[in-house]
């Protein structure tokens, strides 16, 4: 919307101003000052309204919806793959890796309606369809039997196997919870709803939190190994980006090497804070970074 400029005010003759009472003259001077201030503010706001990411240092995300993206100039190339580009197509698995095969034969000729014998006259066309299995989570009941010792009459109960999972969840379910929370950032409520609706596995919020904390503790050896590799490297490429954690603004730091990558969520962009425990619920698959300016060590290089 375009705003018409304000019309200029006619000047007040000095003789008329001099004939007015002193109080009226002071009031008019104050009104003129306020009007000049408001006019300057309006001009500044109109100048700001006309700026966008193409005419100022503002990011494209600050542009209003009606601005839109500027049309890109034509490159002169045709649409689609360019000459010399390696084509990409859907992967076709080998027959031994296929779970099921369904043969489809034509029944009649579309021209003369004659019945067709099942004798292949040309190479078969293989089309593979990927599908997820419609299966709920498996439930294994552990029955811990108790036997009374014939010697001392002590009642001895069998111990639960070490590979039977923790609580009501097996190791694969715990690993899935850790992956969905740490890598894909699902909340406890979202995780519980997903596992219940897809795999019919009822998990409480406390159980979900306990599972991803256990996964974080299990990652401690790998965390220490990656941290040692990055700390011993002569040069590290580092960068940071904004990160939201429990509604608060944080910074995700990354230190990368050809063989390893180190991530750290910190409260400050200028320097890393002290690392927290690896088993924290916010540290699943996130490794504390120690090469920070706050620790007195040499800061990592940037790319």
* pLDDT at position 78: 80
* pLDDT at position 154: 93
- Please name which of 265, 217, 261, 264 lies closest in space to residue 245, comparing C-alpha atoms: 265
Residue 132 lies in a domain: no
Q: Which two tokens stand for residue 238?
A: 């580092």
| Pairing outcome for strands 261-266 and 301-302 | unpaired
* pLDDT at position 76: 79
Express each pLDDT in 157-183 by its tens digit.
998 887 655 567 888 899 999 999 988
Question: Is 297 found in the same domain as 234?
Answer: yes
Last residue of a domain, one of 201, 217, 233: 217
Question: Is 254 found in the same domain as 294?
Answer: yes
Domain interval for residue 212: 171-217
Residue 269 lies in a domain: yes
Question: Is 234 found in the same domain as 192?
Answer: no
Question: Is 260 found in the same domain as 196?
Answer: no
Q: Which residues of the chain have pLDDT under 70?
A: 1-3, 70, 163-167, 270-303
* pLDDT at position 297: 34
Question: Is 250 found in the same domain as 179?
Answer: no
Is the CA virtual torsion 92, 96, 102, 106 positive or negative? positive
* pLDDT at position 80: 76
Question: Is 267 found in the same domain as 225?
Answer: yes
* pLDDT at position 164: 57
* pLDDT at position 131: 86
pTM of the model: 0.54
Question: Is 213 found in the same domain as 183?
Answer: yes
Residue 107 lies in a domain: no
Residue 135 lies in a domain: no
Residue 78 lies in a domain: no
Question: Is 193 found in the same domain as 255?
Answer: no
Task: Report yes or no: 149 and 156 within 8 Å, Cβ to Cβ.
Answer: yes
Question: Is 208 found in the same domain as 232?
Answer: no
Residue 67 lies in a domain: no
* pLDDT at position 273: 45
Render the burial of 184-222: b for 16+ CB within 10 Å, e for the rest: eebebeebbebbeeeeebebeeebbbbbbbbbbebbeee
Residue 101 lies in a domain: no
* pLDDT at position 14: 87
Q: Which two tokens stand for residue 39?
A: 């006019």
Task: Report yes or no: 284 and 278 within 8 Å, Cβ to Cβ.
Answer: no
Question: Is 197 found in the same domain as 179?
Answer: yes
* pLDDT at position 271: 55
* pLDDT at position 299: 35
* pLDDT at position 167: 64
Residue 100 lies in a domain: no
* pLDDT at position 3: 62
Cα torsion 287, 290, 293, 296 to 10°: value is: 170
Question: Is 290 found in the same domain as 234?
Answer: yes
How is 240-288 classified by DSSP, letter by letter?
A: EEEEEETTEEEEEEEEE-SS-EEEEEES-SSSPPPP--TTSGGGTT-PP
Tell me how many domains the chain contains.
2
Question: Is 247 found in the same domain as 190?
Answer: no
């Amino acid at each position: 919307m375009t705003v018409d400029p304000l019309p200029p005010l006619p000047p007040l003759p000095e003789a008329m101003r001099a004939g007015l009472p002193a109080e009226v003259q002071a009031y008019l001077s104050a009104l003129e000052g306020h009007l000049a201030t408001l006019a300057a503010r309006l001009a500044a706001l109109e100048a700001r309204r006309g700026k966008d990411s193409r005419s100022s240092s503002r990011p494209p995300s600050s542009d209003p919806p009606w601005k839109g993206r500027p049309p890109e100039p034509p490159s002169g190339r045709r649409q689609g793959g360019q000459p010399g580009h390696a084509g990409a197509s859907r992967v076709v698995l080998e027959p031994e890796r296929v779970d099921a095969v369904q043969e489809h034969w034509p029944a009649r000729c579309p021209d003369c309606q004659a019945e067709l014998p099942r004798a292949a006259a040309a190479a078969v066309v293989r089309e593979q369809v990927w599908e997820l299995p419609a299966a709920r989570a498996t439930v294994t009941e552990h029955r811990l039997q108790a036997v009374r010792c014939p010697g001392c009459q002590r009642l001895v109960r069998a111990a639960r196997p070490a590979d039977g999972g923790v609580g009501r969840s097996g190791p694969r379910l715990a690993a899935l919870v850790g992956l969905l929370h740490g890598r894909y950032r699902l909340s406890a409520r979202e995780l519980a709803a997903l596992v219940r609706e897809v795999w019919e596995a009822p998990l409480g919020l406390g159980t979900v939190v306990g599972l991803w904390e256990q996964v974080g503790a299990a990652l401690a050896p790998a965390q220490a190994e990656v941290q040692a590799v990055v700390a011993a490297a002569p040069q590290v490429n580092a960068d940071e980006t904004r990160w939201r954690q429990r509604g608060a603004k944080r910074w995700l730091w990354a230190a990368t090497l050809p063989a390893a990558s180190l991530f750290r969520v910190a409260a400050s962009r200028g320097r890393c804070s002290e690392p927290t425990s690896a088993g924290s619920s916010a540290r699943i698959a996130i490794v504390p970074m120690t090469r920070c300016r706050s620790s007195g060590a040499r800061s990592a290089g940037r790319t």
